Amino acid sequence: MLPTFSSKAFLAPMAGVSDPALRLQCKKMGAGLVVTEFTNIHSIIAKEKQLKEHMKTIQEFIEFSDQERPLSIQLFGSDLFALEKAAKIVEPYFDIIDYNMGCPAPHITQQMAGGALLQQTNLTEQIFETLVNAVKKPVTLKIRSGVTDASRFLFRDIAEIAEDQGIQMITFHPRTVNQGYSGNADWKLIKELKEISGIPIVGNGDITTPEDAKKMIDETNCDYVMIGRGAMGNPFLFEQINDYLKTNSYQEYSFKDRLDSFFDYLHLTSKYKIKFANLKGQAMRFTKGMKGGSKVRAKITFTTNIEELEKIMKNAYLTS
Ligand SMILES: Cc1cc2nc3c(=O)[nH]c(=O)nc-3n(C[C@H](O)[C@H](O)[C@H](O)COP(=O)(O)O)c2cc1C
């Protein structure tokens, strides 16, 4: 059974972005569910073997904290044997196992994973069956609408197979794989999926404001919304969405508040092994839209350690 979610707004899995510090920050700001970055099933198996030799667990590889719960781990990869093994390794640590069938990146689709699987109904059925039988935790799915414009309704068959095989919730980003992030997410398709499905649907794509979140729920009747790019460098969005859905109003935050929240983020990162390049990326996002932000970002590019980064962000704070 799915856990109870404290809010309708979820944080999207984002490689290089939704690290354990940002997830925790979004959780504290009111995200109902947070999801790890997608994780290769073969890497999980290889890492677990290495870690076991040193009496360590997979938690050293996929870092998280209990405060993030309910916490979902996203897997990718279509080798059924590896999938079963990886799912069993991670099951004790996570509340939901999510499966990625949306990633458009060629290095993923070329290995018959991510969005490429949308056109492989037989393999997809076996994947869902394998996952659902491998673990007792709920298994969920994240999909795009199709691969090409002509195949943009593939989601209909995939969703039906998923439900038949015991998948408990579907997150739907209604763009095709070929679209990448161009054009708009076609929210009408979320409405259609919600109408034909008997399991909860999480609508995803192009939500950047509380008004967008309410609009998606009103227009599509989806059960939850998931926010990716709109939450990058802006964890306040979850609190704002929750307030807006309840009271039709929300508190605005200044850039000083946003920079303050970057320092909270940086403080949280000290507990984890997050790559410095990712921290720089986060710093850039927290300055997005800020007056003089492009100059700050140019300086961030040249930083080589946390002290330098902190100095630049403190200066930005003082002049914002
Ligand atoms: C930098 C970045 C990394 C992403 N990584 C993942 C991922 O690991 N797994 C996944 O299912 N989707 C991933 N996505 C897609 C998002 O989860 C989401 O579906 C997409 O960004 C659309 O939502 P948005 O308009 O709210 O950003 C990523 C998106 C971005 C921008």
pLDDT tens-digit readout, 98-116: 999 999 999 999 999 999 9
- Cβ–ligand 1 contact at 12 (below 6 Å): yes
Q: Is the pLDDT of residue 319 over 90?
A: no
By three-state DSSP, how is residue 118 classified?
A: helix
Domain limits, the chain = 9-247, 255-319
Q: Which residue minimizes the CA distance to atom 3 of ligand 1?
A: 14
Q: Which two tokens stand for residue 292?
A: 């003089």
174: closest CA among 161, 183, 165? Answer: 183
Distance 13 CA to ligand 1 centre (A): 6
Distance 38 CA to ligand 1 centre (A): 10
Tell me which H or E stretch contains 141. strand 139-146
Band the pLDDT of 137: cuts 50, 70, 90.
very high
Q: Point out the catalytic residue in the list 31, 103, 127, 139.
A: 103
Token digits for 28? 């504290």
Q: What's this model's pTM, rounded to 2 decimal places?
A: 0.97
Band (pLDDT 50/70/90 cuts) for residue 290 is confident
Which residues face 170 on adjacent strands?
141, 201
Ligand 1 atom with least separation from CA of 171:
19
Give the residue from 273, 275, 283 showing the smallest Cα distance to 310: 283
- Summarised one tens digit per residue, pLDDT across range 205-234 is 999 999 999 999 999 999 999 999 999 999
Q: What is the CATH number of domain 9-247?
A: 3.20.20.70
Active site residue 103: yes
- Is the CB of 205 inside a 6 Å radius of any atom of ligand 1? yes
Residue 311: per-residue pLDDT: 96
Token pair 């990712």 is found at: 278
**Which positions ≥6 away from 171 have C-beta within 8 Å?**
10, 12, 98, 140, 141, 142, 143, 201, 202, 204, 226
Mean pLDDT of all residues in 24-50:
97
